[in-house]
Structures are given as C-alpha cells and as structure tokens.
Structure 1
Amino acid sequence: MSGGDHFVVQQTQGVPNVSLGGTVVPYKEVTLSAQLPGRVNYLAGIEGDTFKEGDRLVELDDSELMAKREAALAQLANADAQLRNAGVQYSRELWSPKSRSAMGGMGMPNLFDQMFTRPMEDAFGERDQGAERRADIFSSQTNIQQARNTIYRVQAEIRAIDAKLRDAKSLAPFDGVIMKKFVEVGDTVQPGQPLLKYADVEYLQIVVDVPGRLRPGLNEGMMLRAELDVGDRDVPVRVAQIFPMADAQRHTVTIKFDLPQGVSAPGMYAKVLVPDFNAPARSNPVIPNSAIRYNGSLPGVYVVGEDGKPMLRLIRVGEKLPGGEYSTVLSGLQAGERVLRNPPLGISAGWTSSQGQ
C-alpha cells in the first residue's frame, strides 16, 4: 500500500494482560570464591572471554603447599622404613627368640648359661622364658601396627594437602564466559572472597517477580510474549520455573521464562505480558504500529476526518499483539475511526483532542 492508505480502527476482545518488568539472566551462573588464603598468580582472561568445562580460570600461589607435601612424602618414606624394620624384628623374634640375650661367640660361659643357668631359673620360678617371649612378640607386633598407623596418618595428610592444592585452582564448571572479575594478578585473597563471576550465556532467561494474584494463571511450559528493551523486540517466552514460595514482604512469586537463543544479553531489561484472568475481559481498539508517530515521547496518530483531512491526535498505546505488527490503544481512539496507516514524511496537520476512553 502507499504511504497515505487508511486503516479502519478495529476492536479486539480478550483476557487483559499485565506487563511485568524483569531482568535477563544467564541460565547458569556461579561466583567462584577463594577456598584458601594466598596470592593470585594466574587469571585466564577478561570479561567476555569464553572457556570450556575444566579450563583453568584462576590459580593461587601454592609454593607453601608444595613444600608441605614434600615434607609429608619424606615422613611417609620414614614410616615405610620403620614398618619394614618392625617386620624384620618380628620375624627374628619368631625364629630366634633367644638371640637378643645370648652372648656372642662359642665360649663355655654361653654354653653353661644355656644348659644349666636358665633351666634352673625356670625350675625355681625366678624366670618365665615363655612369658618373656610372648611379651617380646607382642612388642614387635605393636611396633608393626604403630608403623602402619604412621603411614595411614601421613597418607591422610598428603590427601588433605592435595585437596588444598586442588582448591588453589578454580576450574570452569561448564562451558561459559567470564561475566565479571573481582581480583587481578598479584592480589592477596582470603577464604570466601569472590574471584570472578562465570556464566553460561548460550541460554538466557527472564526473571520476573509476579504478583500472587497472577500466579494461578501460569503453569510451567505455558507460552507467553515478552518485549525486550533491545531493539523493542517482541519474542515468545516459555514458563520454565515457578518458585514454590512467595516473598513474605512483597507477596510476589519469582518465575523464570526461557528466551529464544541469541535475542538478548544478560542484565537487559524485559517485560513479560502475563494474563490476568481475575480481571473482566475488555475490548480495545487496534491499530498498526506503522500508524503511530511520536512527538518527543508522546504517541499520536493521524485521524482522517469526514472532510478527508488528517488531524494529529494523542493516544495512549497499550500492548503489542502477537506478531508485533499491531498494538492496542488504551485511550484516544474508537472503533470505526480511520487513521493513516503510514503517514508520509512532512505531513502537516493540527492537533485534535482525544475522543473516547
């Protein structure tokens, strides 16, 4: 059609929608924090850089932990040597129980002691060689167990050090981008201090606090429309998650809506059109968006009078209809009136007062 074609204002009826503002957020977002004190030695990049799952993002100085690990490995080697020695002593006590107290050499004193002195001590009850042997065996077994316990303790210390070494490195938990850095290389951090914010921006959502009275009209999987602040785009959204509890102070329910891929960016403002089934159905005039002209921030249309002359009239614009080509008018027009569909540039017309509500 040509630029001066007329459009007869139509009337539409339906459930009124409530426009609720929300914020575009990533589908997944985490804040990586320091797990131990230290100095930042490495940062993988800057805001906007992309990484794969498992990539190293931040690393703290681990020289002190490595020194402790080397000391623990030395203790483990000593404990292992003690265990081997205790095993040898136990075997010797089993196979040669008298060797510790026997005198060296093949002299007569040793032979006399073994053949006469010790048997006489046992006979008179002055000495119980069986009890002594059992005590020596028990002592050797105790030494073996103590050496094993030392090994277990040192191994546990090494595992604890290895866990801290892993905590010194922050790895990407999933494919995503760095959203914000809180530290730089050389900064000293403490446990719990945020290092950076990391998010998956391939899939985005709109988070909206919906009044409690509108909650019954929404179900997960339900399709609605949203208006994005970027480019004034009208896109379909799906109800992805409805939080189970309402805010006790504001009496609102947090609801997340899935966005199509590539239509916005995190942090942007968006409006979701939520149906209000509690309100009575209403009818509003409908006009094409191409008919609306703005004088500053005031919307208006050129209404064609009975004499065929266009007159500029202020209106209140409502919501866009599905498809984005038409919008409802809250006041200023009535069904049956004619407006210019595409007012040409340079058109001159006077102002008229609004008609109808």
Structure 2
Amino acid sequence: MSNTRSFATPAALAVLLATSSIGLAADYETAMVEVTAVGDAAVVGATVVPYKEVVVSAMVPGQIRFLAGHEGDRFKANTLLVQIDDDDLQAKRRAASAAVMAARSAIDQANVQYSRELVSPRINRSMSQPTGFGVPSMFDSFFTRPFSNAMGLSNPWVERYADLQGQVSGLNQANSSYLQARAALDEIDTKIRDARLFTPFDGVITAKMVEVGDNAQPGQPLMRFAYVDFLRLQAEVPVRLVASLRKGQFLPARLDVGSGILVDARVSQIYPIADQARHTVTVKLDLPQGVPGGPGMYAEIRIPDHTTDARSLPTVPRKSLVQRGSLFGVYVLEDGRPSLKMVRVGGDAGEGRVSVLSGLKGGEQVIVNPSSDLGSHNARQTAGD
C-alpha cells in the first residue's frame, strides 16, 4: 500500500497569487500617483478663532445685578447671562399702566357722549330747558327759532351736524391718547426685556468685562460669548496669493501647540474686498473637529504661490483622500490589497488632484472613492486568509 502526495510547484503558486491579486485589485477603482511640477507655497500667519462669536453689550443703563459665570463656563442657548437692575423701569411701567387705564376710561366716556348726542341732540335739549315758568322757552320754540330760520340766520341741521362731529372728534382724540399710552407702555416693556440678556446659542464665555455691582451704559461691552465646538483659522492673505484659493480647498496648516500640530484646513470664506491699507484679503478656514487648542492661538498656513518656480511633487485625485481625525490618508494597493497610508496634503494641483508633501513617492496605485468600511473589510479578509 502506497501513499500518494501532491505538491504545488513554485510556478503554480505564483500564478495562483497573481490571479488572487488581480481579482482583488479589480474590485476597486484606482488611479496612479503622478509626479507633477507644482508651484511653491508661501507660509502665512493665522489666528484660531471661534466658529461664531458675539459681543454681549448693555442695552439699558443700570447696575449689574447678575452674571451667569466666568470665562470658560458653558451654557445652552436661551440661558440668562446678564441682568441689569430694572427697578426704575418697573416704576415707570406702573405709571404707564395707570396712563393706559385712564386713556381707556376716556374712551368709554367719549363713547357715552357720542351715543347721547346721537340719541338726544343738544339742540333739542337747549330748546326744552324750562326757564321763567316755560314762557321764554315756549317763545323761542314758536317764534324766535322759526323766524331765525326763515331769515337764514341759523340752520338747525348744521348745528346738529356740528354737535355730532364734535363728539366724534372727542372720541377720536380719546382713542389717540390710548394708543400713545400703549406705545409708552410697550417701550418700557422693551427696555425691561433688554435688561435681561440671554445666550443666543450654545457656547462658552470667552471674556468678561464687568463684575456684579458695576454700572453699565447702553452700548458698553459686557461679555464675549462664542461657539467653540468648531474652530476656524483667520488669516490676512496677500492679494497675490488669493488667486490660488477657492472655497472648499484644503490647505496644510500648523497649529502652535506643543512642538506643532499639522492639520488640513478647508477654505470656508474668502472676503470679496481687500484691505486698502495692507493690501490683504481676509480668509477663513475650517479646522477638523477635536483639534487641540482654542481661540487666540497662532497658526501657519501653506498657500500655493504660483508666482514662484515649480517643483516636482506626487499628486493624487482629491476623491482618493480619506480623513482620520485631523489627518488625511490614501489607500494604496500593495500586492493587490489596500493599505492605508497617512499623507500630508499640499495645495491644489488642478484637474481634481492635490499635491502630497509626504507619505508617497509616485507611481503607487491609490483607490479612488474608497468605501467607509474598506479598512475593516480588508482586516477581516486578511484574518480569514
């Protein structure tokens, strides 16, 4: 009885591995890492700023009675931040409320007088007043008024219209007085509301300029309140460099934290007008969420300078970049399998490509539009092998 064993030849193993690699590589859309002549970059200083910040200023004069916290304290939106003493305003409000009630009473009285004139005209009342045992009044009714009307010296309908119009005018004046009193009350209510200042959004106090007991005047800054969950870089970029920037472009930046932290910042806003004195344009860039540091820190941005001589740098399609925290990387095919390599991204290289300052040499195959689960899928596949 003999045992038969079969062995795979080295050539067969090579063919098998090549076939497997080709099958893996065929599952991805790839692009070549090209070495392209790219212009040099200029370093521009920048400052870390909050994503948005407001200055909380006093709207009414008075003494500071309440402050919600100190620098660094975090609050939700619509939280009471500052309260100014409003005792004087409350007293004025009570007086304004009394004026509104008096105006309302005047309207009621004017309505009564108008209704009385409409139902019982004054011209009739004056003729019916009994004087001198009624003889003078009777004489006026039968002789004086008819004779005056016949001679054209008086007109009872015109007199009635004048009396009625007088009551209408009194009613309109009462309504006007009421509206003025209501406006004065609303104005005081607005000032009372302005004595209480609330947070406009979620954020932290970045600066406090007053203390409880200080006297505040309208327009005086009291606090700075900022949203710092996202940070930005703000830089004054020379006009000659602005032409190479566009919204959404990624630029390498260095934050002055420790020995320096390198991140990629995205251009979010380019001011349309340059500063006439310094000949610079304000540019804001979004930083990745979670970067260390805070507002006020110094940073440096590398901006492509097309006015200088070009140098050769590897370039990759922008769609091949993946972000891991504050860093960027690309999936490189090695033996047909994707391998994540972290890279430092430079400036825009045109045609949808970006330059790479470090991490690649050129000639590698990178995966375009990698799926979010590519790394975990590759790890499971490697473990299964």
1:158-307 to structure 2, matched below 5 A, reads: 158-231=185-258, 232-263=260-291, 264-282=293-311
Query: What is the DSSP-based 3-state SS (H/G/I as helix, E as strand, rest coil) of the residue aligned with 1:87?
Result: helix
Query: What is the DSSP-based 3-state SS (H/G/I as helix, E as strand, rest coil) of the residue aligned with 2:235?
Result: strand
1:83-122 to structure 2, matched below 5 A, reads: 83-97=107-121, 98-99=124-125, 102-103=128-129, 108-109=134-135, 114-115=141-142, 118-122=145-149
How big is the shift at 1:46? 1.0
Q: Does 1:148 align with 2:175?
A: yes
**Preserved contact between residue 127 and residue 141 of structure 2 (Cα < 8 Å):** no
**Preserved contact between residue 215 and residue 253 of structure 1 (Cα < 8 Å):** yes
**Preserved contact between residue 241 and residue 304 of structure 2 (Cα < 8 Å):** yes
- The amino acid across from 2:207 in the alignment is K
How big is the shift at 1:25? 0.0
1:5-84 to structure 2, matched below 5 A, reads: 14-84=38-108
State the TM-score, normalizing by the size of structure 2.
Answer: 0.67
**Preserved contact between residue 226 and residue 272 of structure 1 (Cα < 8 Å):** yes
Separation (CA, whole Å) in 2 of partners of 1:327 and 1:84: 84
Separation (CA, whole Å) in 2 of partners of 1:147 and 1:133: 22
Separation (CA, whole Å) in 2 of partners of 1:101 and 1:51: 77
Go from structure 1 to structure 2 and tell me whether the alpha carbon gap of 1:147 and 1:17 turns closer, same or farther (over 3 Å shift): same
Q: Does 1:322 align with 2:347?
A: no
1:127-146 to structure 2, matched below 5 A, reads: 127-146=154-173
Query: What is the DSSP-based 3-state SS (H/G/I as helix, E as strand, rest coil) of the residue aligned with 1:99?
Result: helix
Query: What is the DSSP-based 3-state SS (H/G/I as helix, E as strand, rest coil) of the residue aligned with 2:282?
Result: strand
Separation (CA, whole Å) in 1 of partners of 2:126 and 2:169: 18
How big is the shift at 1:117? 5.1
**Preserved contact between residue 234 and residue 323 of structure 1 (Cα < 8 Å):** no
Query: What is the DSSP-based 3-state SS (H/G/I as helix, E as strand, rest coil) of the residue aligned with 1:276?
Result: strand
How big is the shift at 1:116? 5.2
Separation (CA, whole Å) in 1 of partners of 2:117 and 2:277: 78
| Structure number with higher helix proportion | 2
**Preserved contact between residue 345 and residue 357 of structure 2 (Cα < 8 Å):** no
- The amino acid across from 1:233 in the alignment is I
- The amino acid across from 2:253 in the alignment is A
Go from structure 1 to structure 2 and tell me whether the alpha carbon gap of 1:92 and 1:104 turns closer, same or farther (over 3 Å shift): farther
Separation (CA, whole Å) in 2 of partners of 1:153 and 1:104: 43
Query: What is the DSSP-based 3-state SS (H/G/I as helix, E as strand, rest coil) of the residue aligned with 1:192?
Result: coil
Bigger drift between 250-259 and 165-174 goes to: 165-174
Go from structure 1 to structure 2 and tell me whether the alpha carbon gap of 1:99 and 1:239 turns closer, same or farther (over 3 Å shift): same
Go from structure 1 to structure 2 and tell me whether the alpha carbon gap of 1:247 and 1:125 turns closer, same or farther (over 3 Å shift): closer
Structure 1 spans left out of the alignment, 5+ residues: 1-10, 285-319, 329-357
Q: Which digits, 9 at most, give the CA deviation of each residue in 1:151-172, with x for residues without a partner?
A: 1111111222222222222221
- The amino acid across from 2:94 in the alignment is E
Structure 2 spans left out of the alignment, 5+ residues: 1-34, 314-341, 347-355, 359-385
**Preserved contact between residue 227 and residue 270 of structure 1 (Cα < 8 Å):** yes
How big is the shift at 1:103? 2.5
- The amino acid across from 1:251 in the alignment is H
How big is the shift at 1:198? 0.8
Bigger drift between 200-209 and 33-42 goes to: 33-42
Bigger drift between 111-120 and 64-73 goes to: 111-120
Separation (CA, whole Å) in 2 of partners of 1:101 and 1:79: 34
Match of 1:306 in 2: none
Q: Which digits, 9 at most, give the CA deviation of each residue in 1:113-169, with x for residues without a partner?
A: 545554455445555333322221111111001001111111111222222222222
**Preserved contact between residue 225 and residue 235 of structure 1 (Cα < 8 Å):** yes
Separation (CA, whole Å) in 2 of partners of 1:223 and 1:149: 63
How big is the shift at 1:99? 2.8
State the TM-score, normalizing by the size of structure 1.
Answer: 0.71
- The amino acid across from 2:233 in the alignment is I
What's the C-alpha RMSD, in Å, of the aligned pairs?
2.9
**Preserved contact between residue 51 and residue 175 of structure 1 (Cα < 8 Å):** yes
Separation (CA, whole Å) in 1 of partners of 2:57 and 2:235: 27
Q: Which digits, 9 at most, give the CA deviation of each residue in 1:212-266, with x for residues without a partner?
A: 2211111110011111111421111101111112222222221111001120311
Go from structure 1 to structure 2 and tell me whether the alpha carbon gap of 1:17 and 1:113 turns closer, same or farther (over 3 Å shift): same
